[in-house]
Structure 1
Amino acid sequence: MIRRFGEPVKTGMRYRRRPGAYAVLLRAGQVLVTHQAAPTPEFQLPGGGIDPGENVVAALHREVFEETGWSIGGLRRLGAYRRFTYMPEYDLWAEKVCSVWLARPGLRRGPPSEPGHVAHWLSPEEALDLLAGAGDRHFLALALEQAAF
């Protein structure tokens, strides 16, 4: 059973499953997160949807690069969670199935290429306070317990 975070499931609502991959990125006592301006301004773990036919690890590399401008390595899967939400940018009620990975930031190759995203290095305390999603906060806390960085 995959743990659920966020809004309760709305009775009678039809949700479309949307798998995604997200990264907890730790280095030198800091956490790399992304700030997404729209549809709601919020801090998030970098990551996003897995395209049809795309491998989860390839999607993770692509999404982190698009949202932060950084390459990643040293992947270790932390777990997964589900959340049920409305995605206004797609006009879609989604069951997001989010796999979360611990990764090491590699090289900064430039600014985020995805519009509306800005990468931020935060202290673990700031990140735990500012991350909008309960699932993001849960997996960051889990990673911090497991990793000596």
Structure 2
Amino acid sequence: MRRYGESKVLGQTYRTRPGVYALLPRNGRVLLTYQGGIHHEFQFPGGGVDPGESPIAALHREVFEETGWRIASPRLIGSFRRFVYMPEYDMWAEKICRIYRAFPVRRLSEPLEPDHSAHWVSPEEAAILLENRGERDFLNTRL
């Protein structure tokens, strides 16, 4: 599996953290989430898969929590991994990032997650705003 970002640090213990993220195009724009708080970054909507939860259920839950949008027809388009420190959990993680392409159907609410906001941007803006190179590569090759 392709790795983006920092290499694994020798001697550092990492916890495997599966996650699901959505590439959400609509009318020539892409839906991103901005995560404030400690991160301050634009991302594909998504996040961790809880124990016992299916990846698709996690994708629907995370997209709704972070954007307020319901999605339809998610299709897995690829995956990658990252070795990162997650300050909100005080842990080092090997994030296994599964990327889905889906259709945003309807906005039902504001984002439920604190410090999150939803933003429709052009693909060109998204390529600049996304800090994660893995997400940028999926944006550029799968949009």
The match for 1:140 is: 139
Displacement after TM superposition at 1:40 (Å): 2.0
Corresponding residue SS for 1:60: helix
Corresponding residue SS for 1:138: helix
What are the equivalent positions in structure 2 for 1:1-149 lying under 5 Å apart?
2-144=1-143
Provide Cα deviations, 1:86-109, integer angstroms capped at 9, x if missing partner.
000000000000100000001100
User: Mind listing any 5+ residue stretches in structure 1 that lack a counterpart?
Assistant: 145-149
Q: TM-score, normalised by structure 2?
A: 0.98
Inter-partner Cα distance in structure 2 for 1:6 and 1:118: 25
Provide Cα deviations, 1:15-51, integer angstroms capped at 9, x if missing partner.
0000000000000000000000021201000000000
Q: TM-score, normalised by structure 1?
A: 0.94
Displacement after TM superposition at 1:13 (Å): 0.2
> Which residue type is aligned with residue 83 of structure 1?
R
User: Mind listing any 5+ residue stretches in structure 2 that lack a counterpart?
Assistant: none
Displacement after TM superposition at 1:8 (Å): 1.3
Corresponding residue SS for 1:4: coil
CA root-mean-square deviation:
0.6
